[in-house]
Amino acid sequence: MNKLHIGSGTVYLCDWINIDIPSDTTYLAHERPDLVAKYISTELDYYSRHKEKSFANFTAGPKLIETVCDRYGTFQNIPARANSINKILSRQVFEHFDINGAIAALKEAHRVLMPGGELTIDVPDLIESIIQYGNTRDNFYIRHITGPKKKGSWGFHCMSYDKSELINLCESNGYLFYKDEDNIHSYPAISLTFLKR
């Protein structure tokens, strides 16, 4: 396998190497096959194990639960050799980095990706979230922009993006915008794929 799913959380993707940060509630797949079975999913049906979740679940706020991954790592320290990875996928992670962290993450992803390799970044949509808050006055959209405080310091969102800002950041750091991806979430999000130059 040479596809990395960084920040896997409660989505364990088949045929990908799932990577997450070590914590008291994060386990390696060989330690907890029960969590693999609970969270296993595919790229085409990413949230297959979360079908019962509704928008009301998200507005109730985050919960701290057990998660599973194949390897421990971070976007700033990806456990892979240089030029060895075809694809990197990361959903709802990149917004947790400040600008220096985001640039460091892009450089580290650039290191491990093969020439022409794909980087897909999925982040909250700042503009649409503001519009939805204006329309609904639902505080969920404020939390969607600022991050879930209940998850501790790493839950905060340090950056907010619109499409052009994310493209400019990535293209300034060794990538070429390739395509828009569908928003698979029930809340506003931007998902873009870039190619390593």
CATH number of the domain where residue 91 is located = 3.40.50.150
Q: Domain tally for the chain?
A: 1
For residue range 141-187, list pLDDT tens digits in order. 988 888 876 655 567 889 999 999 999 999 999 999 999 999 999 89
Which structural domain, as residue segments, surrounds residue 23?
3-196
| pLDDT score, position 54 | 52
Percent of the chain whose predicted confidence (pLDDT) is above 90 = 77
DSSP string, 134-178: HHH--THHHHHHH--GGG-GGGS----B-HHHHHHHHHTTTEEEE
- Mean pLDDT on 53-78: 76
- Mean pLDDT on 95-123: 97
Distance between CA atoms of residues 148 and 137, nearest Å: 17
Q: How large is the greatest C-alpha to C-alpha distance in the chain, in angstroms?
A: 47
- Mean pLDDT on 26-40: 96
For residue range 78-99, list pLDDT tens digits in order. 999 999 999 999 999 999 999 9
Is pLDDT of 71 > 80? yes
Q: Are 147 and 126 in contact (CB under 8 A)?
A: no
Q: How confident is the model at residue 47 (pLDDT cuts 50, 70, 90)?
A: confident
Distances in Å between the alpha carbon of 65 and those of 21, 26, 145? 14, 9, 22
Please state, as a whole number, how many other Cβ atoms lie within 10 Å of the Cβ of residue 23. Answer: 13
* pTM, 2 dp: 0.89
Percent of the chain whose predicted confidence (pLDDT) is above 70 = 88
| pLDDT score, position 48 | 73
